[in-house]
């Protein structure tokens, strides 16, 4: 990945010039989840990944709205004008909440495996600490093909849920995502919206994508076969090809 830049309290990765695409990672998401997207689109766009303060917010403020406020402060600090928000999982939810607060600042929404309507977080059960095989199972569920649950990825998640202060925040965010349902807000979101969904997503299943498509007034829905919850990681070529064609119609 590119080197991490700093601007005040913000840390981010940035590559390329042109219209701004901000990539928002999920709850267990790392910057590397988006490396293929960043490399592919930085020829025509300014691609930016801010590090969201998932594990450093005060516990009482660890919720989706606080993350959306943080993204707004980041966008203002960077002086970006209109942005295109691309969010995976919790990152999609943050994009949607941001959109409700600052509709004039958003040029388009790109959602993949987004929460905001329904999600089966952690496969519906509490993350058990200290059990590596259990964590591996939960990480594998994210993908259609379990080979994507690499040892490094499993170790990363294992370390997160075994750190008490991080685990408290993970659970707080997961609960906040369930509480903060976007159903009533979606019909007011009048921006071009691109939905790219894995047909085999078990965390935000296909019917979630259908509901987003139904409720977002200007949306297109694209399916990727043999693909789970993180399409940009599991099927990067197809994901980038769909998104590129969709963006080319707009820029």
Q: Domain range for residue 72?
A: 5-118+180-248
Task: Flag whether 135 is in a domain.
Answer: no
Averaged pLDDT, 71-92: 96
Task: Flag whether 172 is in a domain.
Answer: no
> What are the phi and psi torsion angles at 10 (to 5°)?
-95, 140
User: Which whole-number Å values give the CA distances from 233 to 32, 136, 163, 212, 216, in the listed order?
Assistant: 9, 17, 26, 21, 25
What is the pTM for the complete model shown? Answer: 0.94
Tell me the range of 31-35, 65-69, 127-131 where mean pLDDT is highest.
Answer: 65-69
8 A C-beta contact, residue 120 and residue 133: no
Name residues whose C-beta falls within 8 Å of residue 224's C-beta, 6 or more positions apart in sequence: 196, 197, 198, 199, 231, 235, 238, 239, 242
Task: Flag whether 140 is in a domain.
Answer: no
User: Which whole-number Å values give the CA distances from 241 to 16, 40, 64, 245, in the listed order?
Assistant: 18, 9, 30, 6
Q: What integer pLDDT is reported at residue 123 of this predicted model?
A: 46
> What are the phi and psi torsion angles at 8 (to 5°)?
65, -130
Six-digit token string for 91 = 């990152």
pLDDT in tens, 156-195: 989 988 999 998 998 899 889 888 999 999 999 999 999 9
Task: Flag whether 132 is in a domain.
Answer: no
DSSP 2: P
Q: What integer pLDDT is reported at residue 57 of this predicted model?
A: 92
pLDDT band at 126 (very low <50, low <70, confident <90, very high): low
Cβ neighbour number for residue 163 with a 10 Å cutoff: 14
Q: What is the CATH number of the domain that holds 21?
A: 3.40.50.1820
Q: What is the average pLDDT value for the chain, to the nearest integer?
A: 92
Handedness of CA 55, 61, 64, 66 (dihedral sign): negative
CA torsion angle 247 68 97 34 (round to 10): 40
85: closest CA among 28, 34, 153? 34
Task: Flag whether 71 is in a domain.
Answer: yes
Task: Flag whether 167 is in a domain.
Answer: no
Q: What integer pLDDT is reported at residue 135 of this predicted model?
A: 87
Encode 90-123: b = buried (16+ Cβ within 10 Å), e = exposed: bbbbbbbbbbbeeeebbbbbbbbbbbbbbbbbbe
Give me the number of domains the chain comprises: 1
Cβ neighbour number for residue 181 with a 10 Å cutoff: 13
Averaged pLDDT, 91-115: 97
Task: Flag whether 125 is in a domain.
Answer: no
Task: Flag whether 154 is in a domain.
Answer: no
Q: E strands within the chain?
A: 5-7, 10-15, 20-24, 46-50, 83-88, 106-112, 193-198, 219-224
Q: What integer pLDDT is reported at residue 39 of this predicted model?
A: 95
């Amino acid at each position: 990945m590119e080197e991490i830049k700093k601007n005040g309290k913000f840390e981010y990765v940035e590559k390329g010039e042109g219209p701004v695409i901000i990539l928002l990672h999920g709850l267990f998401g790392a910057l590397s989840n988006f490396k293929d997207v960043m490399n592919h689109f930085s020829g025509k766009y300014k691609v930016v990944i801010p590090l969201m303060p998932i594990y450093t917010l005060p516990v009482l403020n660890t919720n989706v709205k606080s993350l959306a406020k943080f993204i707004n402060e980041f966008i203002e600090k960077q002086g970006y004008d209109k942005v295109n928000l691309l969010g995976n999982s919790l990152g999609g939810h943050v994009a949607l909440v941001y959109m409700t607060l600052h509709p004039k600042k958003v040029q388009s929404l790109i959602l993949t495996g987004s929460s905001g309507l329904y999600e089966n977080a952690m496969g519906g059960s509490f993350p058990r600490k200290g059990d590596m095989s259990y964590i591996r199972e939960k990480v594998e569920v994210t993908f259609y093909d379990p080979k994507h649950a690499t040892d490094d990825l499993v170790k990363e998640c294992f370390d997160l849920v075994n750190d008490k202060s991080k685990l408290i925040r993970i659970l707080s965010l997961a609960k906040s995502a369930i509480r903060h349902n976007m159903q009533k807000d979606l019909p007011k979101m009048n921006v071009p919206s691109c939905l790219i969904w894995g047909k085999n997503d078990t965390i935000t299943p296909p019917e979630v994508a259908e509901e987003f498509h139904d409720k977002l007034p200007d949306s297109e829905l694209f399916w990727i076969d043999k693909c789970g919850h993180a399409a940009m990681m599991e099927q990067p070529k197809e994901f980038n090809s769909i998104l590129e064609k969709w963006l080319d119609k707009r820029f």
